[in-house]
């Protein structure tokens, strides 16, 4: 079992990752769980149907009272209606300020559950039990959110979990697409932090070949990168913006394509290629490296043809609406080199030129 401590201004918590991590409920977290009048598990209905027993067999013997609220699977969870429905459930269960929420699902479930926890009676503790690879990222760092029909993640809070308990046994049931999505964020963490680790990741020719031991190690590295950045800049005033590498163009692809047609991580992979090309222009990334990276990403099955149905003007509209845009300029996290991120404002003309180059180059490479 590996543990990483995250120290933020208001709190300090541990992220535990390993096979059998849920056993920690009965050991390290036994007294903590006993200190609550109720434990409410908010869970993605798909995850619950496959894995809920694994969690409940640990929680049942120790919780004073335990209830389970199933929420719709995936992104559909993050609506104001589901938020309200969860609040109603907590009230109906007579939850109090001495109750705790356990989020059991991927990033969508974690984002909703965190937002519910941060607002119920002005805030009650919550524990993240992430069940996707992508959620190695979303479960750490304390961003919670639901979506508004005019924008994703537009309603939310910064609210740190009390612990993150990441039992990798549940990851074996993820679809190929969800593995690809999550691994894109792992690769992002390597790109912004560590050339040697990136070399190792670029040696993977199929995610199917990764052993659980290797996957766990990559996830622990990713969590450590995220934790270090969040500790330095919890509220995204400075270095936390580096985590947005690949996300400015990536979010535009996700939004313009319609959420659900491409996963978050897949869109981020396309965004990272665009932003590597921008990093050639504004930093010192070599063209040869980007081309090698494009071949790698294509070989792993990232869906580059998606771009063909998304005109630049559509993407620009979303980039200009990005939360990270300020005073009309679009700000990007780029790389001077692998492991050395920096921030760069780019104007619309340059964005269009880069967009043309991106389309040419992902069309050309094998």
Measure the CA angle with vertex 296, ends 291 and 298; round to 5°: 95
Asked if residue 132 belongs to a known ligand binding site, the reply is yes
d(CA 64, CA 94): 13
Is there binding between residue 74 and ligand NAD (CB under 6 A)? Answer: yes
**Which one of residues 8, 16, 44, 222 is an interface residue with ligand NAD (CB under 6 A)?**
44
DSSP code of residue 23: G
Q: How many residues bind ligand NAD (CB under 6 A)?
A: 30
Dihedral sign for Cα 111, 117, 118, 121, please. Answer: positive
CB atoms within 10 A of CB 146: 22
Asked if residue 264 belongs to a known ligand binding site, the reply is yes
Is there binding between residue 244 and ligand NAD (CB under 6 A)? Answer: no
**Which one of residues 4, 40, 55, 109 is an interface residue with ligand NAD (CB under 6 A)?**
109
- Report strand pairing: 163-167 vs 126-130: parallel
With 0-12 CB in 10 A as exposed, 13-18 as middle and 19+ as buried, what is 237?
A: exposed
Options 12-20, 105-113, 271-279, 307-315: segment touching ligand NAD (CB under 6 A): 105-113
Is there binding between residue 111 and ligand NAD (CB under 6 A)? Answer: yes
Q: Tell me the per-residue interface mask from 6 to 35 with ligand NAD, x by CB under 6 A, - otherwise.
A: ------------------------------
Residues contacting residue 359 through CB under 8 Å, at least 6 positions apart: 307
Cβ(174)–Cβ(182) below 8 Å? yes
Could you tell me the smallest distance in angstroms from the CB atom of residue 352 to ligand NAD?
27
d(CA 331, CA 8): 25
Closest residue to ligand NAD, judged by C-beta, is: 107
d(CA 152, CA 255): 8
Asked if residue 189 belongs to a known ligand binding site, the reply is no
Is there binding between residue 107 and ligand NAD (CB under 6 A)? Answer: yes
Q: Which is nearer to ligand NAD, 140 or 351 (CB)?
A: 140
> Which 148-207 positions form the footprint of ligand NAD (CB under 6 A)?
153, 170-171, 173-174, 178, 181
CB atoms within 10 A of CB 155: 14
Cβ(312)–Cβ(355) below 8 Å? yes
Options 71-79, 119-127, 211-219, 297-305: segment touching ligand NAD (CB under 6 A): 71-79
> Which 263-282 positions form the footprint of ligand NAD (CB under 6 A)?
264
Is there binding between residue 75 and ligand NAD (CB under 6 A)? Answer: yes
Q: Which is nearer to ligand NAD, 20 or 363 (CB)?
A: 20
**Which one of residues 18, 105, 257, 303 is an interface residue with ligand NAD (CB under 6 A)?**
105
Backbone angles phi, psi at 8, to 5 degrees: -115, 180
Interacting residues toward ligand NAD by CB under 6 A: 44, 46-47, 50, 73-75, 78, 105-109, 111, 131-132, 134-135, 137-138, 141, 143, 153, 170-171, 173-174, 178, 181, 264
């Amino acid at each position: 079992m590996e543990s990483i401590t995250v120290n933020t201004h208001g709190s300090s918590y541990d992220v535990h990752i390993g096979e059998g991590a849920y056993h920690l409920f009965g050991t390290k977290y036994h007294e903590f769980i006993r200190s609550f009048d109720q434990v409410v598990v908010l869970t993605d209905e798909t995850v619950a149907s496959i894995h809920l027993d694994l969690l409940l067999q640990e929680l049942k013997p120790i919780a004073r009272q335990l209830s389970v609220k199933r929420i719709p699977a995936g992104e559909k969870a993050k609506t104001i209606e589901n938020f309200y429905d969860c609040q109603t459930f907590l009230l109906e269960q007579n939850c109090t300020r001495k109750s705790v929420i356990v989020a059991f699902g991927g990033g969508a479930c974690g984002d909703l559950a965190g937002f519910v926890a941060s607002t119920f009676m002005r805030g009650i503790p919550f524990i993240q039990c992430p069940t996707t690879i992508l959620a190695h990222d979303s479960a750490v760092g304390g961003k919670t959110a639901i979506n508004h029909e005019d924008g994703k993640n537009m309603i939310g809070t910064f609210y740190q979990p009390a612990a993150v308990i990441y039992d990798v046994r549940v990851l074996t049931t993820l679809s190929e697409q969800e593995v690809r999505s999550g691994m894109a964020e792992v690769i992002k963490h390597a790109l912004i932090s560590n050339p040697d680790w990136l070399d190792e990741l670029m040696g993977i020719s199929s995610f199917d070949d990764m052993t659980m031991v290797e996957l766990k190690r990559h996830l622990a590295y990713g969590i450590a990168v995220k934790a270090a950045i969040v500790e330095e800049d919890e509220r995204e005033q400075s270095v936390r913006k580096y985590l947005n590498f690949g996300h400015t163009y990536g979010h535009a692809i996700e939004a313009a394509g319609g959420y659900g047609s491409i996963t978050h991580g897949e869109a981020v992979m396309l965004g990272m290629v665009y932003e590597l090309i921008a990093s050639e222009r504004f930093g010192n990334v070599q063209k040869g490296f980007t081309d090698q990276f494009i071949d790698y990403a294509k070989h792993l099955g990232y869906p580059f043809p998606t771009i063909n149905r998304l005109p630049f003007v559509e993407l620009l509209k979303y980039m200009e609406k990005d939360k990270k845009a300020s005073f009309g300029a679009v700000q990007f996290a780029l790389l001077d080199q692998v492991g050395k991120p920096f921030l760069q404002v780019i104007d619309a003309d340059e964005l269009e030129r880069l967009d043309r180059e991106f389309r040419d180059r992902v069309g050309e490479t094998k």
